[in-house]
């Protein structure tokens, strides 16, 4: 997965602008993208916070969505494969109010590789939960503000030959 962060952020912005405008509106930024981990930052500002001056629930969901899905998209692209990606289920545990910029971290790169291997070899849809942890390092270090479990659903799109 040899993709520069600059290229990854450009692809995320274009995807948000053309496909999912709410992602574009929140302006997530990829800080880390490697074989095992993706880390997304969303700034807390007027458009992403609620009346309590903490990050809005919908913004937290967008951050979890991007952290859970971008790595799968990147890994599939690096393999030269097209996949259909969706989330089938989500659970979220909100532990503290995120009153500063939020980092969304997913360290399930190995599980996503296994999912891609399976869908590419079988052509079947593969579902598996991925974990996303939301933190506010500037106020609470690595203490989780929220923990999400999203059931990632991948299926290979056959190439048209």
Mean pLDDT for the chain overall: 94
Please give the tally of structural domains in the chain.
Answer: 1
Does the residue 141 lie in any domain? yes
Q: What is the pLDDT of residue 158?
A: 83
161 located within any domain: no
Is 70 inside any structural domain? yes
For 16, the domain range is: 5-156
Higher pLDDT, 159 or 125: 125
Kindly state the average pLDDT of the residues 77-103.
95
**Residue keyed to tokens 């190995």:** 110
Within a domain: residue 82?
yes
Is residue 56 domain-resident? yes
Residue where the block lists tokens 């190439």: 159
Task: State the CATH number of the domain containing residue 122.
Answer: 3.10.129.10
**C-alpha distances out from residue 48 to 19, 27, 62, 107, 129, Å:** 19, 9, 10, 24, 26
Write down the pTM of the prediction. Answer: 0.94
Residue whose structure tokens are 């579902």: 127
The verdict on residue 102 lying in a domain is: yes
pLDDT at 1 over 60: no
Q: What is the residue-wise DSSP string for 68-109?
A: HHHHHHHHHHHTT--EEEEEEEEEEEE-S---S-EEEEE--H
60 pLDDT exceeds 70?
Answer: yes
Pick the closest to residue 106 from 128, 88, 76, 78 (CA basis): 128
User: Does residue 101 form part of some domain?
Assistant: yes
* Mean pLDDT value of segment 11-20: 96
Beta strand pairing call for 29-33 and 144-156: unpaired
pLDDT at 34 over 90: yes
Overall average pLDDT of the 84-103 stretch: 96
Q: What is the pLDDT of residue 133?
A: 98
* pLDDT single digits (tens) 90-99: 999 999 999 9
pLDDT for position 161: 61
Q: What is the pLDDT of residue 147?
A: 98
């Amino acid at each position: 997965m040899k993709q520069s962060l600059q290229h990854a952020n450009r692809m995320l912005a274009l995807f948000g602008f053309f496909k999912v405008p709410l992602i574009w509106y929140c302006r997530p930024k990829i800080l880390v993208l490697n074989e095992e981990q993706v880390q997304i930052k969303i700034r807390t500002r007027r458009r992403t916070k609620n009346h309590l001056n903490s990050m809005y629930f919908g913004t937290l969901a967008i951050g979890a969505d991007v952290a859970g899905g971008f790595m799968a998209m990147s890994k599939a692209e690096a393999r030269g494969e097209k996949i259909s990606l969706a989330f089938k289920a989500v659970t979220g545990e909100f532990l503290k109010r995120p009153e500063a910029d939020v980092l969304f971290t997913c360290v399930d790169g190995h599980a996503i590789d296994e999912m891609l291997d399976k869908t590419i070899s079988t052509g079947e849809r593969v579902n598996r939960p991925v974990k996303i942890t939301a933190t506010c390092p500037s106020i609470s270090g690595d203490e989780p503000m929220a923990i999400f479990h999203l059931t990632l659903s991948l299926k290979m799109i056959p190439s048209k030959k």
